[in-house]
Structures are given as structure tokens and as C-alpha cells.
A and B are shown apart, each in its own frame.
Chain A
Amino acid sequence: MDIYRAHVLVCGGTGCSSSGSAKLIERFEEKIAEAGLEKEVKVIRTGCFGLCEAGPVVIVYPDGTFYSRVKPENVDEIVSEHLLKGRKVEHLVYTDHATKEQNAEKALEDITFYKYQQRIALRNCGVIDPENIDEYLAMDGYRALEKALTTMTREQVIDEVLKSGLRGRGGAGFPTGMKWKFAYNSVNDQKYVACNADEGDPGAFMDRSILEGDPHAVIEAMAIAGYAIGASEGYIYVRAEYPIAVKRLQVAIGQAEDYGLLGDDILGTGFKFHLHIRLGAGAFVCGEETALMHSIEGKRGEPTTRPPFPAVKGLFEKPTMLNNVETYANIAQIILKGADWYSSIGTEKSKGTKVFALGGKINNTGLVEVPMGTTLRTVIYDIGGGCPNGKKFKAVQTGGPSGGCLPESLLDTPVDYDNLIAAGSMMGSGGMIVMDEDNCMVDIARFYMEFIVDESCGKCTPCRVGTKRMLEILKRITEGKGEEGDIEKLEELANTIKNTALCGLGQTAPNPVLSTLRFFRDEYEAHIKEKRCPAHHCQNLLQYVITDKCRGCTACARVCPAQAISGEVKKQHVIDPKKCLKCGACMEKCRFGAIIKI
């Protein structure tokens, strides 16, 4: 292996790729070659660093200098100054959101965004080249598989996972070791291991980042699971919307096969394990385990009742053990470092760490991994940097369409499975969407219900019809046509659906409505009784008004499609509310901030 004096790590995750990191890599390679440094400096495309907000992100080692929002034209300067002359390019160094420092000497782990984090599932993301198995091997890769195959019995492996306290990271939080044990106990000539990479929760992208940044971690864990439960075949069901993840998985599986880490006689132990990739085709319900397996079988992805549980009768009618991507990403570390180490992290009933996707109205959007029990406040304010533009925090949504919205008063809740459920939400896959004062909570509930209505598979009546009725009521409320008694109707429908729907999608579908009703009931009441949207979001319930900041430039009158604005030049204009379409074009056009919504 060649030795380089410096490494340039360029993030190749989805976020940074979208903001142009591929061009950066090309430019770096070109400029490094021009400077004659190609034998001394290596450019590596890594997975996600997590701090998508600052992307594209570049880190130069051995110094560990963290450059953010790098543009192709900045590359020349980094090469000529930093790589050639050893002078860090100060003005491109990341500015810490908390300390406002632009300190080139600061190590990555001292940056506020990373300081509170503990990366287990994301340990290699942003650190290694995901398309090079040697880099994974250098990070203790496949050592857990070797340890399991050569020094542990199948029972010991399951015991270790059980003792670690690891719970399913897909959302429900079922103890992973129990799942393994059930599948182990099933007697059959053929069993399957499956991986749920159909990450459908809007606002969650940790599984994508793991697959893109560290695909071998999932492959290794699946092989360990195969050994433990006695399966020789595995399936990864991944969203077709994640092309980079699919490609890296294919590359990784190929490399693992070449190295004898997958195949007929793994590490010469006689253990046989083959892995297949199946693509999803855009159905949210396929994240439900029985629906997912039907989809792999080439059928419509509709859920079926349990029992029989997949551990008894799953994929192709054979015992099947299904875990989520992030769950698998923890396994190798548990086997290597032991259950005691893992269970020392986290809370009493939720062990280890959890990855959250921070999004919405928050300064540092991106991926963070924190120990269970970290408070929402730490995640949102200390790591996430709070709401941008000085806006007031209103709610944080966790758990996607199955979860709920939590208000400011619950920000000190330590995040774990049980606390979130007690607070009226749930862990879900780990999406965390922050909302500020401009977001209308009734509209957010309507948004989620629309999602559910779109994605309901239609098999059971409560979910197919009930959610539709709820959506109609919510739409009516946001359009200003809410009636007395609507809230009670919503509650009745919600509880019925919760108790009677066939699968997890339906049973949790009313949660966004129930949680917003619980914490933001006044907003519903304002819509219904006062025909007013407190967040000034719902079009039908707001009015555009021109204030005395108006200079009479006539720009608004000219852009108005309904000729609703009148006034003399250089004098304050007025909007005729009867003619106004509430399209907001005037507000967008006004350069003086004179038009407001009331």
C-alpha cells in the first residue's frame, strides 16, 4: 500500500454531492497533479460527515483542517497554500456556530456540532472510502465476523446481542437479540436474514448515509446474523430512490465476495452466506416487515396479520429475521467491544446511541449520533444551533408520519424509546424536524394525513377510509370551513383507527393529529372558532395588508394578477381584500418589507 503524507477527504454523501462535491474531487485531482503532488497527497471520496448544512465539506489530514462550503474555485487555493506550502486557508475554515470561531487548529471532535456526539453506527461515515474494502478492513472491518465465526458459538453471539440491550432502530424498538433468538429457535432447512433499507419516513436519511458511507458495516452484520440464526441467504431491500446507496452496496458485496468474506466458505470456516439486493419501488408501506417481504417475493407490498411472525414464517414462507440498517450498523461494534461496553451507554431501557436527522427550521441541518438519554434541547440547540433568522421555536416533530409534534415545554425530555412515547410521540426512524412560529400545526397535521392517505395500501378499512375522513376534516379546518365538533370527530376517528388498523402504518397514522391536538389545541380552536391561523400560514385565513413602510413604488400593483392593489405613485397603496387572491406575489415583490400578513 502506498503511503501518502496528506489525505484530502471530500464528502460524497447525497447532501454534498448535490452541492457539487464531485466537481471538487475532479478539481483537486487535477490541481494536485499539476503541482506534482500526486504521489504525496491522496484524494478520497468519503460518505457523509453529517454536517450537511456546511457542505460541500473537505477535511485535510493529518492536520484535520475542516473546510466548509468549498467551491471549485477554492480548490486551487487549498492546493497551492495548504498542500504545497503547509499554510491553512483560514478564510475557508468552518465557523463554529456556537463559538463563532474560525479556528483552523481545532480538531473535529472539538467543534460544537460534534462535541456532544458519540459515533458508533456512523463511526466510519466520512472517515473511509466506502468503495474500498481495504479501508474498512483497516478500521477493524470484518474482525467481528471473524471473532464470531472462529471463537463464538451461535448461542454466544445471540447472547451478546441480547445482553447489549440493542433495540430495533427502525422505529418500534423491539429488542434485537429477541428477534435473533426467535429466528434461531425456528427449525427449518432454509432461513433468511433481511435488511430493511426502505427508508421511507420523510425527513430521515440516516440509513441512506450509512449505506453510502459504510456499506460493509451492514454486510458484515448481516453475515454475523446469518451465522447466529442459521441462515445462508440474505436480502437487502433498499429504496430505488437511493441510487448512490445501491451502487455502493453492489460494489461492497462484490469486494466482500472477492475477499472470501461472503460466499460458500467464509474465512475457511465452512460458513456459507450469500447476499442479494432488491429494490423498492416507491411504497411507504413496504417499510412494514410483512409488506416488505411480500415485495421481495414480487407481490404487492401489502401487510398481513401477525402471527405467524416472520421468525416462524416470513420470506418465501421460511423463517426470516429482519433488522433495520442502523440496527445492523451497531452489531460489529457490540461483538468486538462486548455487550457490557454497549450497555454502559444510554438509559436504563434504551441502550447505545441513536442517529437523528436534523432538518426543517434549524441552523445545522444534518446527521447527528448521540447517546440515548440526551435531551431534545441539547440536540436542537447545542448541536443544531436552534432556529435560524431569530425565529421562535414552536415544535419538534419526531417519528415521521407515525410520530408526533412536541412543544417547547418538553424540550428537556431525555430522548429514548419510552420517554418519547410517554410524551405523545415516538422514536421512529430518527427524523427530527424543527418547526418555528411560521409553521401552522394544523397544516402540519394535514400534511402528514395527506401522506398517509397517499401511502395507505388500502387493505384494511380503518386506514383506507378513516384516514381519508380525517384528511377531509383537516382540510376543511385549514380552509376556514371548520365547524364546531370537528375536533371531537377527529379524536373519535383517530382512536378508532389506532385500535383497529391492520398494521403499524395505520395504527400510528393518527399520531400527528393526536399530538398536535394535545399540545396545540388552541391553534385548532383559532382556526375553527375565530377563523384565524395564528401562524399566518393558511391562505384562506389570512389577509395581506400594506403598512406605512410603503413608498408607493407601484411594483406590487403591477405584479398583482387580480388588480387588487390601488394607490397613487409615491403614496401608500392599499389591497382590496375582496379582490385579493392571497397569492403572495406582492409580498415577494416588495423591496421595503411593507406588506405583511395578518
Chain B
Amino acid sequence: MDDERAKFAELEKLIADHKDQPGALMPVLQGAQGIFGCVSEDVQKVIAEGLGVTLAEVYGVATFYAQFSLHPKGKYLINVCLGTACYVKGSQSILDKLSKVLEIPVGGTTPDGKFTLEATRCLGACGLAPVMMINGRVFGRLTPDAIPAIIDEYKNLTDEEA
């Protein structure tokens, strides 16, 4: 609970910092996504009130952009690149393999809350196609065979190593 309160305090500060800046809604939503891992209805309400805009406007922006999520994501966010360069080099088979190994559909989160699997458009690392990114770390020149070992590595990470 205290943890939650600290997060909301952080959000209030974020809002105060950006309040007078033009176009504040985007940076505030981005900050909130970082603090909470998603922008739930409660978070949106606080933002709407703090910035003096309607909840509808906040919701409209939050649902327009792919980066904002209304529900929490897994601890490890796996983004498989489906940009053109990766696609022609077989990234679909990487995505299929991950879906099979993790037993979740694309867009899904594992029941233990560890992994979320998503497809993304171009990570800009086309030279290494096909690529995926797990929490900001890029894996390049992938083959479906390499997937299980990578997932195992993350499964076995302790909280500290993560």
C-alpha cells in the first residue's frame, strides 16, 4: 500500500513539474507509464484532474498510442521486431516460437506475470535482422532454435540480477 502511495506521490510531482509546459499531457503519460508500468483508470483520473483536462481527453490520448498500456505488463517485455527487414528474414517464425515456448498468444502475459510477448514495428537494428528486444536489451541474428535458451536465462534470473 505504501508502495502504491509513493507511486502516486511521484505522479503528483511529475504533474506539478510539467503543469505549465505546453503539451504537458504526453510527457506526463509517459512518466506515469514508467512509474506504474501502465496507465490505469485511477492514474488517468489523477492526471486529468492535475492538468485540468477531461478524463475523456486523457483516455483518448492514452488509447491512441501503442506505448501506453491500460493493463500491467509482465516483468520482462519481449518485443519481436516485425519490421520489413526482420520480416523478410523470418522474424515471424521467431514470434511463433516464442508464443509456443511461453504458451501465450502475441499480446499476452504469462500467468506468473513474468513475460509479456509483443510484436513491434522496426527497432532500427535492421543490420542484425531478425531481432527482438527484452527490456531494452537487443538480441540479433536470431533463429527459432536460439529462443528456448534465452527464455530459460530470464526464467532463472533472481530478482537482484534482473
Is B131 in contact with chain A by the CB < 8 A criterion? yes
Question: Is B138 a contact of A357 with CB atoms below 8 Å?
Answer: no
Is A439 in contact with chain B by the CB < 8 A criterion? yes
Residue of A nearest to B125 (CB): A14
- Which residues of A have CB within 8 Å of B121? 200, 202, 284, 451, 454-455
Question: Is A298 a contact of B128 with CB atoms below 8 Å?
Answer: no
Question: Is A15 a contact of B129 with CB atoms below 8 Å?
Answer: no
- Which residues of B have CB within 8 Å of A451? 121
From residue 267 to 309 of chain A, which have CB atoms closer than 8 A to chain B? 278-284, 295-302
Question: Is B88 a contact of A299 with CB atoms below 8 Å?
Answer: no
Is A510 in contact with chain B by the CB < 8 A criterion? no
- Interface window among A23-31, A122-130, A236-244, A480-488: A236-244
Is B111 in contact with chain A by the CB < 8 A criterion? no
Q: Is the interface of A mostly helix, strand, loop or mixed?
A: mixed
Residue of B nearest to A444 (CB): B88
Question: Is A296 a contact of B23 with CB atoms below 8 Å?
Answer: yes
- Which of B29, B60, B64, B85 touches A359 (beta carbons < 8 Å)? B85
- Interface window among B5-13, B65-73, B101-109, B149-157: B65-73
- Which residues of A have CB within 8 Å of B129? 359-360, 365
From residue 102 to 123 of chain B, which have CB atoms closer than 8 A to chain A? 120-123
- Which of A200, A280, A284, A366 touches B127 (beta carbons < 8 Å)? A366
Question: Is A301 a contact of B88 with CB atoms below 8 Å?
Answer: no
A19 to B30, CA, bound (A): 29
Given contacts A279-B27, A283-B64, A296-B23, A18 and B87 within 8 Å (CB-CB):
no
Question: Is A278 a contact of B64 with CB atoms below 8 Å?
Answer: no
Question: Is B22 a contact of A316 with CB atoms below 8 Å?
Answer: yes
Question: Is B138 a contact of A298 with CB atoms below 8 Å?
Answer: no
Scoring A298, A431, A439, A454 by chain B CB atoms within 10 A of each residue's CB, the highest score goes to A298
Is B54 in contact with chain A by the CB < 8 A criterion? no
Closest 8 CB pairs of A and B: A52-B127, A359-B85, A202-B83, A282-B66, A298-B25, A281-B65, A18-B138, A298-B23
- Which residues of A have CB within 8 Å of B68? 281
Question: Is B60 a contact of A300 with CB atoms below 8 Å?
Answer: yes
Other 6 A-B pairs with CB < 8 A, given A202-B87, A588-B144: A14-B125, A203-B84, A281-B66, A359-B127, A448-B84, A454-B121
Question: Is A279 a contact of B138 with CB atoms below 8 Å?
Answer: no
Given contacts A17-B138, A241-B123, A298-B23, A203 and B85 within 8 Å (CB-CB):
yes
Question: Is B84 a contact of A297 with CB atoms below 8 Å?
Answer: no
Binding site for A on B (CB under 8 A): 22-27, 29-30, 60-61, 64-68, 82-85, 87-89, 120-129, 131, 136, 138-140, 144
Question: Is B124 a contact of A14 with CB atoms below 8 Å?
Answer: yes
- Which residues of B have CB within 8 Å of A205? 122, 124-127
- Which residues of A have CB within 8 Å of B128? 15, 18-19, 52, 55, 365
Question: Is A199 a contact of B26 with CB atoms below 8 Å?
Answer: no
Interface 0/1 of A344-379, CB less than 8 Å to B: 000000000000010111000111000000000000
A299 to B23, CA, bound (A): 8
- Which residues of B have CB within 8 Å of A435? 88
Binding site for B on A (CB under 8 A): 14-15, 17-19, 52-53, 55, 199-205, 208, 240-243, 278-284, 295-302, 316, 357, 359-361, 365-367, 397, 400, 431, 433-435, 439, 444, 447-448, 451, 454-455, 457, 588
- Report B146 CB to chain A, min CB distance, Å: 13
- Which residues of A have CB within 8 Å of B67? 240, 280-282
Scoring A283, A300, A316 by chain B CB atoms within 10 A of each residue's CB, the highest score goes to A300
Given contacts A278-B26, A365-B127, A360 and B89 within 8 Å (CB-CB):
yes
- Report A395 CB to chain B, min CB distance, Å: 10
A219 to B126, CA, bound (A): 26
- Report B90 CB to chain A, min CB distance, Å: 9
- Report B122 CB to chain A, min CB distance, Å: 4
A400 to B120, CA, bound (A): 15
- Which of A52, A279, A302, A361 touches B88 (beta carbons < 8 Å)? A361
Question: Is B61 a contact of A203 with CB atoms below 8 Å?
Answer: no
A133 to B122, CA, bound (A): 30
Scoring B125, B127, B131 by chain A CB atoms within 10 A of each residue's CB, the highest score goes to B127
- Which residues of B have CB within 8 Å of A18? 125, 128, 131, 138-140
Question: Is A14 a contact of B85 with CB atoms below 8 Å?
Answer: no
- Report A76 CB to chain B, min CB distance, Å: 24
Question: Is B66 a contact of A15 with CB atoms below 8 Å?
Answer: no
Residue of B nearest to A205 (CB): B124
- Which residues of A have CB within 8 Å of B22? 297-298, 316
- Which residues of B have CB within 8 Å of A241? 120, 123-124
- Which of A17, A278, A298, A439 touches B61 (beta carbons < 8 Å)? A298
- Which of A243, A359, A367 touches B84 (beta carbons < 8 Å)? A359
A sample of 30 cross-chain residue pairs with beta-carbon separation below 8 angstroms, ordered by A number, consists of A14-B124, A14-B125, A15-B125, A18-B128, A18-B131, A55-B127, A55-B128, A202-B84, A202-B87, A203-B84, A203-B126, A204-B126, A279-B26, A281-B65, A281-B66, A282-B67, A284-B121, A296-B26, A298-B24, A300-B64, A316-B23, A357-B126, A359-B84, A360-B85, A367-B127, A433-B84, A433-B88, A434-B88, A435-B88, A447-B84
- Which residues of B have CB within 8 Å of A361? 88-89
Question: Is B89 a contact of A15 with CB atoms below 8 Å?
Answer: no
